[in-house]
Amino acid sequence: MPTLKNDRLLRALRREAVDVTPVWMMRQAGRYLPEYRETRRKAGNFMNLCQNPELACEVTLQPLDRFPLDAAILFSDILTIPDAMGLGLYFEEGEGPRFQHPVTDEDDITRLMVPDPYTDLRYVTDAVSLISRELNGRVPLIGFSGSPWTLATYMVEGGSSKTFSRIKAMMYNRPDLLHRMLVTLADSVSIYLAAQIESGVQTVMIFDTWGGSLSPSSYREFSLSYMTRIVENLKASKSTVHVPVVLFTKGGGQWLEEMADSGCDALGLDWTTDLSDARSRVGDRVALQGNIDPCVLYASPDQIRQQVAKVLDSFGAGNGHVFNLGHGIHPEVNPDHAAVLIEAVHTLSRPYHQ
């Protein structure tokens, strides 16, 4: 491992002092960038892009060549694990992810096997190794996975859902089946993230995109408990280096205290929670990552700067803040606006670190 030239992200995640607040953006390698659209065109489709380590590396690095970001994030999809389980992930243009073979009954669940990350998901570990080498210590590389609950929703619904009728019918009628599936998924995510760490990522994030669709007690039982299990697995591992773990439940603003109890190092926040409130609720137990409304990037440069200032002010002085959007950057955003945001974070955060 080459020495990190910019370790702001890792320091902030460990709640150590930094010169300026580190910043990265969810989906920073994505459709708002013309160079990304060009590479994706070359790849033919989204899955080819994910599964080709050279192209995945290329798009991972693209935003870093444009912007002084403080981290790279592996270009991949949250649904690689169910795809490796044989569900057949594919994307219809403008439709979101779909599975050819969704989980429909007990037999389907019995057949689910924990994928071997070094064979079944080799394209991911290869991409991580390649990106690590290419980054050469410029900034840290972030690895990630979907949360077990979030993976399960797509696997049972067969794609995106507004109502989650199938998975929730299973949750209420056959919680035993859902738990069996979630155990397999939590084991899969644990070794998948461990393999990403062994291949070179320096922190990992668990995306619980759909945890916010649950009631508090269901969230605890079907989502948070399995994320906690993954955190414990990663922290207990004797073979894997211990890296900061970030949990992000979209719409989980009401459950931050419990999320912090998972043993994770940081919480990702969407924009519906004030950082000042979040900070007073979780204290110094975890760092906070977030949380500007991605729609701020539709505003004028002046307005973007003002909104960045508000978010920085909401966190206030002290350690443990990683600036990010509260959700992925939208495809229609002007890249110059992203540049304004990143520059504003670095410039305007300096006084908070003196």
**C-alpha distances in angstroms, 121 versus 14, 43, 142?**
29, 19, 17
Q: Please pick, among 15, 27, 279, 305, the residue that the annotation labels catalytic.
A: 27
Give the count of residues interacting with a second copy (CB under 8 A): 34
Structure tokens at 101: 């073979």
Structure tokens at 67: 């912007």
Q: Please pick, among 154, 192, 219, 226, the residue that the annotation labels catalytic.
A: 154
Task: Using the minimum distance from each CB to a second copy, give the nearer residue, 100 or 165.
Answer: 165
243 to 302, contacts with a second copy by CB under 8 A?
251, 253-254, 271-274, 277, 293-296, 298-300
* Region of 77-85, 164-172, 185-193, 196-204 interacting with a second copy (CB under 8 A): 164-172
- Dihedral sign for Cα atoms in the order 100, 169, 78, 117: negative
31 is catalytic: yes
Question: If binding is defined by CB under 8 A, does position 330 make contact with a second copy?
Answer: yes
Report the residue count for the chain: 354
Least distance (Å) between residue 274 CB and a second copy:
5
Phi-psi region of 177 (alpha: psi -120 to 50; beta: other; left: phi over 0): alpha
C-alpha 87/C-alpha 100 separation (Å) is 6
Q: Within 10 Å of residue 42's Cβ, how many Cβ atoms?
A: 12
C-alpha 143/C-alpha 125 separation (Å) is 10
Q: Which residue has the tokens 């990190």?
A: 4
27 is catalytic: yes
Site track 144-163 with a second copy (rule: CB under 8 A), x = hit = -------------------x
111 is catalytic: no
Catalytically annotated residues: 27, 31, 40, 77, 154
Residue ranges in contact with a second copy by CB under 8 A = 163-165, 168-169, 172-173, 212, 214-219, 251, 253-254, 271-274, 277, 293-296, 298-300, 303, 307, 310, 330, 332
